[in-house]
A and B are shown apart, each in its own frame.
Chain A
């Protein structure tokens, strides 16, 4: 399969008055053509910062990519000039934001906002742009496109606006779509419709998708692979099946337990405690303070990624051979 994106050892920091926030601390993952990768994790773990770093949309100052590479179709975006990066944004990589109520400019018509990316990057006539805009409105399921293009954002509902945002993101036929919590601000029925729309679009255009969310229900519906982030690091990654049914990391397991299930009678068990302060992140496993299995070594040394299968990796001392032997011994003793 063709490799679209490869993020290697990405580090992002924010310098503030209070000190330096190490928001992303060595994140690596990859994405193939036509694949949907979900990034999950608690609020503040660095999901948005990671995706903004790929787009190079980190506000600088205070943010900075201090280390790492973002290889998109063989080119390192982290080393691109700002001008060269502009020719990538919206054309090869597009982005969808969380809140459709604020993502559209209230003072410009939908048509203007839809076509401006196209006009900026491709040499096409006004009529061609209009035709493409109508085509996109049809694709995302907005009736009467011709007339709707002349309207302003306030004349559309939230779900409609998110469809428009998706149309804007797709109008230049990007290879990669980064959706940062695209359904969080919508109500449940609209959420389902938008997720369906993603599936349809991917089928038709073959676009690769990075989906950021803390809603595992959404992940279950459309992701192929999942990476789990915690305190600026990826602590487990694997196929959807591997993460949902064979997760190895205590944090991932806790996350799965904190998902409400329709069929389960048992109570919700959110993970107790809070993530560490990213101003001075611990040098060992950042989950130590909350982990029911924490060992002495956990606090001191960060666990190296352990390979479970070709697609399944986990950063946890429990997977270390020595820990396994120790556990087995403990079980025998009792």
Chain B
């Protein structure tokens, strides 16, 4: 187990390094610099500024400096808001983005799985058609459109929920709904189809033949097996939710990390780009690692360490 985790950690670090390097290459290749939009600055001022942020150095030196800043987790001040360090921005933005992301994931997974189970148990019944009909809508409507519809209907017309910002639970409802609906629909559909398949398996019949209650047959015997394909797509869904937060944070004016990320790219704020990218990537990689662990727990055939084999 330890060996497995160590190996995974190594792979994670390499992945992260690749992402960092790619980001750096892309970053230096975007035309423009942090300063040339600033009209008041003349050539000497710009040169001084570039020197200050080491932007006059050759690329490989800049690259090494970035690596150093990442390893020490000290990204220095933002170029555009010099009175704030990147670490300040991250520590302010991350908790909000994290809250948005985690609640979305929890909602999408729990309700998606439950809806999937209900649809499977009511196969070809009214509830099945209803939920799967809604799910198809949920998958096909992009989250930014859903967000605008929600704001228009529930915030502007009916005035049930506030339209923007992130202050109270009521503020959270619309952004979370907008972000969670797509993944929820995907999980519901997948759970339904895997559940339907699992329910025809012999071990389900065997569980029934033991006289177990329907509750136990479904949650103890069927669900575990039905969830495995759902867990495998979880990584992709997490990535989708993560990028979704950029958009949703913009639309709902939520002061999370996503805004800094998007703004930093528009403004060529190199330290902020680097800091947020590294942070997002590391977070996603850790989530994927957790998904793998959960998969290992669900399916004993994929043990991290093989002990004993089949024997007669």
Of A21-29, A102-110, A310-318, which stretch is located at the interface? A102-110
Asked if B32 is at the interface of the complex by the 8 Å CB criterion, the answer is: no
CB proximity of B238 to chain A, nearest CB, Å: 23
With A102-B201, A106-B300, A156-B310 in contact, is A165–B211 under 8 Å at CB? no
Number of inter-chain CB pairs below 8 Å: 86
| Chain B residue at minimal CB-CB distance from A158 | B312
A94–B299 CA distance with the chains assembled, in angstroms: 28
Tell whether, in the assembled complex, residue A57 and residue B312 are in contact, meaning their CB atoms are under 8 Å apart: no
| Chain B residue at minimal CB-CB distance from A55 | B209
Residues of B within 8 A of A121 (CB): 211
Tell whether, in the assembled complex, residue B202 and residue A152 are in contact, meaning their CB atoms are under 8 Å apart: no
Tell whether, in the assembled complex, residue A154 and residue B210 are in contact, meaning their CB atoms are under 8 Å apart: no
Of A7-15, A82-90, A233-241, A252-260, which stretch is located at the interface? A82-90
Q: In chain B, residues 275-312, which have Cβ atoms closer than 8 Å to a Cβ of chain A?
A: 298-301, 308-312
Tell whether, in the assembled complex, residue B206 and residue A104 are in contact, meaning their CB atoms are under 8 Å apart: yes
CB proximity of A81 to chain B, nearest CB, Å: 13
Tell whether, in the assembled complex, residue B207 and residue A105 are in contact, meaning their CB atoms are under 8 Å apart: yes
A168–B209 CA distance with the chains assembled, in angstroms: 10
Asked if B110 is at the interface of the complex by the 8 Å CB criterion, the answer is: no
A243–B213 CA distance with the chains assembled, in angstroms: 41
A168–B212 CA distance with the chains assembled, in angstroms: 13
Can you list, as one digit per residue, whether each of B77-107 has a CB less than 8 Å from chain A (1) or not (0)? Answer: 0000000000000000000000000000000
Tell whether, in the assembled complex, residue B202 and residue A108 are in contact, meaning their CB atoms are under 8 Å apart: no
| Chain A residue at minimal CB-CB distance from B124 | A61
With A120-B210, A154-B301 in contact, is A97–B205 under 8 Å at CB? yes
Asked if A157 is at the interface of the complex by the 8 Å CB criterion, the answer is: yes
A107–B311 CA distance with the chains assembled, in angstroms: 18
A157–B309 CA distance with the chains assembled, in angstroms: 10
Residues of B within 8 A of A117 (CB): 210-212
A151–B216 CA distance with the chains assembled, in angstroms: 21
CB proximity of B21 to chain A, nearest CB, Å: 40
Asked if A182 is at the interface of the complex by the 8 Å CB criterion, the answer is: no
Tell whether, in the assembled complex, residue B308 and residue A90 are in contact, meaning their CB atoms are under 8 Å apart: no
Residue of A55, A88, A107, A154 near B225 (CB, 8 A) is A107
Asked if A91 is at the interface of the complex by the 8 Å CB criterion, the answer is: yes
A102–B197 CA distance with the chains assembled, in angstroms: 13
Residues of A within 8 A of B171 (CB): none
A102–B309 CA distance with the chains assembled, in angstroms: 18
| Interface range, B side | 20 to 34
Tell whether, in the assembled complex, residue B301 and residue A89 are in contact, meaning their CB atoms are under 8 Å apart: no
Asked if B224 is at the interface of the complex by the 8 Å CB criterion, the answer is: yes
CB proximity of B3 to chain A, nearest CB, Å: 21
Residue of A99, A105, A151, A157 near B308 (CB, 8 A) is A151
Asked if B221 is at the interface of the complex by the 8 Å CB criterion, the answer is: yes
Residue of A120, A151, A156, A168 near B206 (CB, 8 A) is A168
Asked if B203 is at the interface of the complex by the 8 Å CB criterion, the answer is: yes
Asked if A49 is at the interface of the complex by the 8 Å CB criterion, the answer is: no
A290–B224 CA distance with the chains assembled, in angstroms: 48
Asked if B259 is at the interface of the complex by the 8 Å CB criterion, the answer is: no
With A106-B301, A107-B300 in contact, is A157–B312 under 8 Å at CB? yes
Residues of A within 8 A of B202 (CB): 97, 99, 102-103
A115–B207 CA distance with the chains assembled, in angstroms: 12
Residues of A within 8 A of B224 (CB): 105, 107-108
Tell whether, in the assembled complex, residue B206 and residue A165 are in contact, meaning their CB atoms are under 8 Å apart: yes
Tell whether, in the assembled complex, residue A89 and residue B311 are in contact, meaning their CB atoms are under 8 Å apart: no
Asked if A43 is at the interface of the complex by the 8 Å CB criterion, the answer is: no
A60–B176 CA distance with the chains assembled, in angstroms: 40
With A86-B213, A154-B300, A157-B310 in contact, is A106–B206 under 8 Å at CB? no
Residues of A within 8 A of B310 (CB): 154-157
Tell whether, in the assembled complex, residue B210 and residue A155 are in contact, meaning their CB atoms are under 8 Å apart: no
Residue of A86, A94, A152, A159 near B312 (CB, 8 A) is A159
Residues of B within 8 A of A159 (CB): 312
Tell whether, in the assembled complex, residue A107 and residue B299 are in contact, meaning their CB atoms are under 8 Å apart: yes
Residues of A within 8 A of B299 (CB): 106-107
| Chain B residue at minimal CB-CB distance from A95 | B209
Residues of A within 8 A of B308 (CB): 151, 155
CB proximity of A275 to chain B, nearest CB, Å: 25
Residues of B within 8 A of A155 (CB): 308-311
With A57-B205, A105-B221, A154-B300 in contact, is A160–B210 under 8 Å at CB? no
Residues of A within 8 A of B298 (CB): 107
A4–B209 CA distance with the chains assembled, in angstroms: 19
Other A-B contacts than A90-B211, A117-B211, 4 sampled, CB-CB below 8 A, are: A57-B208, A107-B298, A116-B220, A155-B311
Residues of A within 8 A of B (CB): 55, 57, 86-91, 94-95, 97, 99, 102-109, 116-117, 120-121, 151-152, 154-157, 159-160, 165, 168
Listed from nearest, the 3 A-B pairs whose CB atoms lie closest are A89-B211, A90-B210, A90-B211
| 7 A-B pairs (CB sep. < 8 Å) | A57-B209, A89-B210, A90-B211, A91-B211, A105-B203, A151-B308, A154-B301
